[in-house]
Amino acid sequence: MRGPLNSLSDANKNVASLHAEQNANAISIERSTFAGLYKRLGPEIIGQETKEVMKLYYWVLVASLAVLGTGCRKAPSSGQAPQLLRPATIKDIMDSMVNPSGEFMFESVYQISDEHGIREKAPQTDADWEEVREHVVILLEAPNLLVMPGRKVAPPDVKSQNPGIELEPAQIQELIDGNRLAFIRRARGLQDAAAVAMKAVDAKNKDALFQADDGIDKACETCHLHYWYPNDERARAVAEGEGIVY
């Protein structure tokens, strides 16, 4: 038979057991916290461990920033733009761009007077005007291609079709290279004439377009008489009669 003392003893044991369990749990929790380390190891030891941990964190942080900086840094520039190709010659550009667009412009608006009376052709619809505009853009931009440094006049195997009247490609090249400013000035003359045509197109003004076509024709002839066929006496006489300076 158990008496009061035995019950009290059992109660004490239970309390002691509960305290032990709580202490064990507390120690378990403290092991995962800096405060627990401090309580169990003391300020001197934990101070040393803290320094070591902080050193580790410091170098990890430095390494991380270095990696991030490398990843965000732009690739170094070579400092030199790539060279654009110039496979076409001046003759190629004239044959494929300038001449076809110029002919289209001259055919887009004109007046014919004959035994049947006066006939007129001009752009009528928005689509007609847009088509004219596309060719004017070519005449505006082609001179930029013509004057690019290093552009050759013609392929090596091309020869003059009218020797004595038309210059050989090598002679034309010599004229251009001898005075590039004059060549650029004549190319700009075509651009100026095409700019006048563009204003007429934007206004859908057929009379202004007709006048602008005359300016384009004169700009072309100015260049041709100087570089292409300077020995064509008939062409020179016509040009002088029209006030074309070449």
> Which domain, by its residues, includes 153?
90-241
Q: Is residue 74 part of a domain?
A: no
Percent of the chain surpassing pLDDT 70: 68
Q: Is residue 20 part of a domain?
A: yes
Give the number of other Cβ atoms within 10 Å of residue 5's Cβ: 8
- Taking CA atoms, 230 is separated from 52, 71, 75, 212, 226, in Å, by 91, 63, 54, 25, 5
Q: Is residue 129 part of a domain?
A: yes
More confident residue, 241 or 69: 241
Does the structure show a pLDDT above 70 at 74?
no
Q: Is residue 75 part of a domain?
A: no
Q: Are residues 105 and 41 in the same domain?
A: no
Does the structure show a pLDDT above 50 at 198?
yes
Does the structure show a pLDDT above 80 at 146?
yes
Q: Are residues 39 and 107 in the same domain?
A: no
Structurally, how many domains does the chain consist of? 2
pLDDT tens digits, 37-53: 334 444 444 445 444 54
Q: Is residue 80 part of a domain?
A: no
Of 111-115, 161-165, 207-211, least confident by mean pLDDT is 111-115
pLDDT tens digits, 79-124: 888 988 889 999 999 999 999 999 999 999 998 888 888 888 999 9
Query: Which residues, in sequence order, are CB contacts of 142 under 8 Å at separation 6+?
Result: 93, 97, 98, 101, 190
Q: Is residue 200 part of a domain?
A: yes
Q: Is residue 157 part of a domain?
A: yes
What is the pLDDT, as a whole number, of residue 48?
52
Does the structure show a pLDDT above 70 at 30?
no
Q: Are residues 130 and 229 in the same domain?
A: yes
The mean pLDDT value for 194-221 works out to: 97
The mean pLDDT value for 62-88 works out to: 64
Q: Of 99, 110, 113, nearest to 209 (Cα)?
A: 110
What is the pLDDT, as a whole number, of residue 246?
76
Q: Are residues 102 and 223 in the same domain?
A: yes
pTM for the whole structure: 0.66
Query: Which residues, in sequence order, are CB contacts of 140 under 8 Å at separation 6+?
Result: 191, 194, 195, 198
Which pLDDT band, with edges at 50, 70 and 90, does 172 fall under?
Answer: very high
Does the structure show a pLDDT above 90 at 193?
yes
What is the rounded average pLDDT for all residues in the chain? 79
Of 61-70, 180-189, 224-233, least confident by mean pLDDT is 61-70
